Protein backbone atom coordinates (compact mmCIF):
# COMPACT_ATOMS: atom_id res chain seq x y z
CA UNK A 1 0.00 0.00 0.00
CA UNK A 2 2.82 2.42 0.91
CA UNK A 3 6.41 2.23 -0.28
CA UNK A 4 8.93 5.03 0.21
CA UNK A 5 12.48 4.76 -1.08
CA UNK A 6 15.28 7.29 -0.51
CA UNK A 7 13.02 10.30 -0.10
CA UNK A 8 14.24 13.72 0.99
CA UNK A 9 11.95 16.64 1.66
CA UNK A 10 12.47 20.25 2.73
CA UNK A 11 10.06 23.16 2.45
CA UNK A 12 12.41 25.35 0.41
CA UNK A 13 15.91 25.13 -1.04
CA UNK A 14 17.73 26.75 1.89
CA UNK A 15 15.71 25.03 4.63
CA UNK A 16 16.97 22.02 6.57
CA UNK A 17 15.68 18.58 5.68
CA UNK A 18 12.41 17.67 7.35
CA UNK A 19 12.29 14.12 6.00
CA UNK A 20 15.11 11.80 4.96
CA UNK A 21 13.65 8.31 4.82
CA UNK A 22 15.71 5.54 3.16
CA UNK A 23 12.87 3.01 3.24
CA UNK A 24 9.36 2.70 4.63
CA UNK A 25 6.81 0.09 3.64
CA UNK A 26 3.26 -0.65 4.74
CA UNK A 27 1.36 -3.67 3.46
CA UNK A 28 -2.26 -3.47 2.35
CA UNK A 29 -4.61 -3.97 5.29
CA UNK A 30 -2.04 -3.12 7.97
CA UNK A 31 -2.93 -0.86 10.90
CA UNK A 32 0.05 1.32 11.73
CA UNK A 33 0.48 3.52 14.80
CA UNK A 34 2.95 6.32 14.04
CA UNK A 35 4.31 8.46 16.88
CA UNK A 36 6.82 11.19 17.50
CA UNK A 37 7.13 14.56 19.26
CA UNK A 38 5.69 17.76 17.83
CA UNK A 39 7.80 19.18 15.02
CA UNK A 40 9.44 15.89 14.04
CA UNK A 41 7.83 15.76 10.59
CA UNK A 42 4.75 13.58 11.11
CA UNK A 43 2.31 15.90 9.38
CA UNK A 44 4.82 16.52 6.58
CA UNK A 45 5.05 12.77 6.03
CA UNK A 46 1.27 12.56 5.85
CA UNK A 47 1.28 15.35 3.27
CA UNK A 48 3.78 13.37 1.21
CA UNK A 49 1.70 10.21 1.49
CA UNK A 50 -1.43 12.11 0.55
CA UNK A 51 0.21 13.59 -2.52
CA UNK A 52 -0.18 17.14 -1.24
CA UNK A 53 3.57 17.69 -1.66
CA UNK A 54 6.31 15.69 -3.36
CA UNK A 55 9.89 15.12 -2.17
CA UNK A 56 12.88 16.69 -3.90
CA UNK A 57 14.22 13.20 -4.58
CA UNK A 58 13.08 9.64 -4.02
CA UNK A 59 10.13 7.40 -4.79
CA UNK A 60 6.65 7.62 -3.22
CA UNK A 61 4.29 4.80 -4.16
CA UNK A 62 0.78 4.63 -2.70
CA UNK A 63 -1.65 1.91 -3.78
CA UNK A 64 0.40 1.35 -6.92
CA UNK A 65 0.70 5.01 -7.99
CA UNK A 66 4.08 6.72 -8.17
CA UNK A 67 3.32 10.22 -6.90
CA UNK A 68 6.54 11.76 -8.16
CA UNK A 69 5.45 10.98 -11.72
CA UNK A 70 2.00 12.57 -11.38
CA UNK A 71 1.21 16.26 -11.70
CA UNK A 72 -0.73 18.08 -9.00
CA UNK A 73 -4.14 17.58 -10.62
CA UNK A 74 -3.61 13.84 -11.05
CA UNK A 75 -2.42 13.51 -7.43
CA UNK A 76 -5.54 15.35 -6.29
CA UNK A 77 -7.74 13.00 -8.32
CA UNK A 78 -5.92 9.94 -6.99
CA UNK A 79 -6.28 11.18 -3.40
CA UNK A 80 -10.01 11.74 -3.87
CA UNK A 81 -10.45 8.19 -5.20
CA UNK A 82 -8.23 6.20 -2.87
CA UNK A 83 -7.41 8.08 0.36
CA UNK A 84 -9.63 9.09 3.27
CA UNK A 85 -8.20 11.62 5.71
CA UNK A 86 -9.26 12.30 9.30
CA UNK A 87 -7.78 15.65 10.28
CA UNK A 88 -6.73 16.64 13.79
CA UNK A 89 -9.21 19.54 13.78
CA UNK A 90 -11.71 17.47 11.74
CA UNK A 91 -12.08 20.21 9.05
CA UNK A 92 -15.83 19.85 8.63
CA UNK A 93 -17.54 22.41 6.41
CA UNK A 94 -19.41 24.42 9.08
CA UNK A 95 -22.46 25.42 7.03
CA UNK A 96 -23.11 21.90 5.75
CA UNK A 97 -25.13 19.32 7.64
CA UNK A 98 -23.42 16.19 8.98
CA UNK A 99 -24.89 14.12 6.13
CA UNK A 100 -23.68 16.65 3.56
CA UNK A 101 -20.19 16.63 5.09
CA UNK A 102 -20.03 12.84 5.02
CA UNK A 103 -21.10 12.56 1.39
CA UNK A 104 -18.74 15.32 0.21
CA UNK A 105 -15.95 12.94 -0.99
CA UNK A 106 -18.45 11.25 -3.30
CA UNK A 107 -18.93 14.55 -5.14
CA UNK A 108 -15.23 14.60 -6.02
CA UNK A 109 -14.75 10.90 -6.73
CA UNK A 110 -16.87 8.81 -9.07
CA UNK A 111 -15.16 5.68 -7.73
CA UNK A 112 -16.14 6.41 -4.12
CA UNK A 113 -19.63 7.49 -5.19
CA UNK A 114 -20.14 4.15 -6.93
CA UNK A 115 -18.69 2.19 -4.00
CA UNK A 116 -20.91 3.99 -1.50
CA UNK A 117 -24.03 3.27 -3.58
CA UNK A 118 -23.13 -0.41 -3.87
CA UNK A 119 -22.63 -0.61 -0.11
CA UNK A 120 -26.14 0.63 0.64
CA UNK A 121 -28.72 -0.23 -1.99
CA UNK A 122 -27.95 2.53 -4.44
CA UNK A 123 -28.02 5.54 -2.11
CA UNK A 124 -24.99 7.56 -1.02
CA UNK A 125 -27.11 9.32 1.61
CA UNK A 126 -28.23 5.99 3.09
CA UNK A 127 -24.58 4.90 3.28
CA UNK A 128 -23.83 8.14 5.16
CA UNK A 129 -26.65 7.33 7.58
CA UNK A 130 -25.32 3.79 8.03
CA UNK A 131 -21.90 5.18 8.90
CA UNK A 132 -23.46 7.62 11.38
CA UNK A 133 -25.21 4.70 13.06
CA UNK A 134 -21.97 2.71 13.03
CA UNK A 135 -20.26 5.65 14.75
CA UNK A 136 -23.01 5.62 17.38
CA UNK A 137 -24.69 8.78 16.13
CA UNK A 138 -28.37 8.71 15.28
CA UNK A 139 -29.56 11.11 12.62
CA UNK A 140 -32.33 12.30 14.95
CA UNK A 141 -29.72 13.46 17.46
CA UNK A 142 -27.89 15.72 15.00
CA UNK A 143 -30.20 16.33 12.02
CA UNK A 144 -31.27 19.79 13.23
CA UNK A 145 -27.72 21.03 13.73
CA UNK A 146 -25.10 22.37 11.38
CA UNK A 147 -21.71 20.76 11.78
CA UNK A 148 -20.17 23.61 13.81
CA UNK A 149 -22.89 23.14 16.45
CA UNK A 150 -21.89 19.54 17.15
CA UNK A 151 -19.82 18.52 20.16
CA UNK A 152 -16.15 17.67 19.68
CA UNK A 153 -16.89 13.95 19.92
CA UNK A 154 -19.72 14.21 17.41
CA UNK A 155 -17.55 16.18 14.98
CA UNK A 156 -14.84 13.55 15.30
CA UNK A 157 -17.20 10.74 14.36
CA UNK A 158 -18.69 12.68 11.44
CA UNK A 159 -15.14 13.33 10.19
CA UNK A 160 -14.36 9.62 10.46
CA UNK A 161 -17.50 8.71 8.53
CA UNK A 162 -16.52 11.21 5.82
CA UNK A 163 -13.09 9.55 5.49
CA UNK A 164 -14.63 6.06 5.39
CA UNK A 165 -17.41 6.59 2.86
CA UNK A 166 -16.77 4.88 -0.45
CA UNK A 167 -14.25 2.45 1.09
CA UNK A 168 -10.95 4.18 0.22
CA UNK A 169 -7.91 1.90 0.16
CA UNK A 170 -6.00 4.02 2.70
CA UNK A 171 -7.15 5.96 5.75
CA UNK A 172 -4.75 8.58 7.11
CA UNK A 173 -5.61 9.85 10.59
CA UNK A 174 -3.66 12.88 11.86
CA UNK A 175 -4.03 12.89 15.66
CA UNK A 176 -7.85 12.78 15.51
CA UNK A 177 -8.19 11.87 19.20
CA UNK A 178 -5.99 14.61 20.65
CA UNK A 179 -8.94 16.59 22.07
CA UNK A 180 -10.70 13.58 23.56
CA UNK A 181 -10.48 11.88 26.92
CA UNK A 182 -9.29 8.29 27.42
CA UNK A 183 -12.65 6.51 27.31
CA UNK A 184 -13.87 8.38 24.23
CA UNK A 185 -10.56 7.67 22.44
CA UNK A 186 -10.89 3.96 23.11
CA UNK A 187 -14.48 3.90 21.88
CA UNK A 188 -13.51 5.76 18.72
CA UNK A 189 -10.70 3.33 17.89
CA UNK A 190 -13.03 0.38 18.43
CA UNK A 191 -15.62 1.85 16.06
CA UNK A 192 -12.99 2.70 13.45
CA UNK A 193 -11.52 -0.80 13.52
CA UNK A 194 -14.96 -2.39 13.26
CA UNK A 195 -15.73 -0.42 10.11
CA UNK A 196 -12.49 -1.26 8.28
CA UNK A 197 -12.43 -4.92 9.29
CA UNK A 198 -13.00 -7.06 6.23
CA UNK A 199 -12.59 -4.25 3.70
CA UNK A 200 -8.81 -4.54 3.37
CA UNK A 201 -8.44 -0.85 4.21
CA UNK A 202 -4.99 0.24 5.40
CA UNK A 203 -4.85 2.58 8.40
CA UNK A 204 -1.99 4.97 9.19
CA UNK A 205 -2.79 6.56 12.54
CA UNK A 206 -0.68 9.37 14.01
CA UNK A 207 -1.12 9.97 17.72
CA UNK A 208 0.46 11.18 20.94
CA UNK A 209 -1.67 8.70 22.92
CA UNK A 210 0.59 5.70 23.66
CA UNK A 211 -2.26 3.82 25.36
CA UNK A 212 -3.76 3.23 21.90
CA UNK A 213 -0.64 1.75 20.30
CA UNK A 214 -1.07 -1.84 21.48
CA UNK A 215 -4.25 -2.20 19.43
CA UNK A 216 -2.37 -1.71 16.13
CA UNK A 217 -0.41 -4.20 14.05
CA UNK A 218 2.78 -2.13 14.27
CA UNK A 219 4.01 0.78 16.36
CA UNK A 220 6.56 2.99 14.61
CA UNK A 221 8.51 5.95 15.91
CA UNK A 222 9.17 8.42 13.13
CA UNK A 223 12.68 8.95 14.44
CA UNK A 224 13.42 5.28 13.68
CA UNK A 225 12.78 5.75 9.95
CA UNK A 226 13.55 9.45 9.48
CA UNK A 227 17.28 10.18 9.40
CA UNK A 228 16.68 13.94 9.11
CA UNK A 229 15.95 14.05 12.83
CA UNK A 230 19.12 12.17 13.69
CA UNK A 231 21.60 14.61 12.18
Q: Is the pTM of this model over 0.95?
A: no
What's the CATH number where 146 sits? 3.40.50.300
pLDDT tens for each residue of 31-90: 999 998 877 889 899 999 999 999 999 999 999 999 999 999 999 999 999 999 998 888
* Contact call for residues 139 and 99 (beta carbons, < 8 A): yes
Using the predicted structure, report yes or no on whether residue 171 has a pLDDT greater than 80: yes
72 vs 11: CA distance, rounded Å: 17
Rounded to an integer, the average pLDDT of 198-209 is: 89
Which domain does 142 fall in, by range? Answer: 2-230
Q: What is the DSSP letter of 121?
A: T
159 vs 178: CA distance, rounded Å: 14
| Domain count across the chain | 1
Amino acid sequence: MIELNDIRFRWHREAPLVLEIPKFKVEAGERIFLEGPSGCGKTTLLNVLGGVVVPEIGSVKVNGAEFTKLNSAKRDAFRADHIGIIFQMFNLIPYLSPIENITLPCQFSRRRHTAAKKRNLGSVEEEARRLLTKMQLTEDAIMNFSSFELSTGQQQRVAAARALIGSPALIIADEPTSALDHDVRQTFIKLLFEEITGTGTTLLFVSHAPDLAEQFDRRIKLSDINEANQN
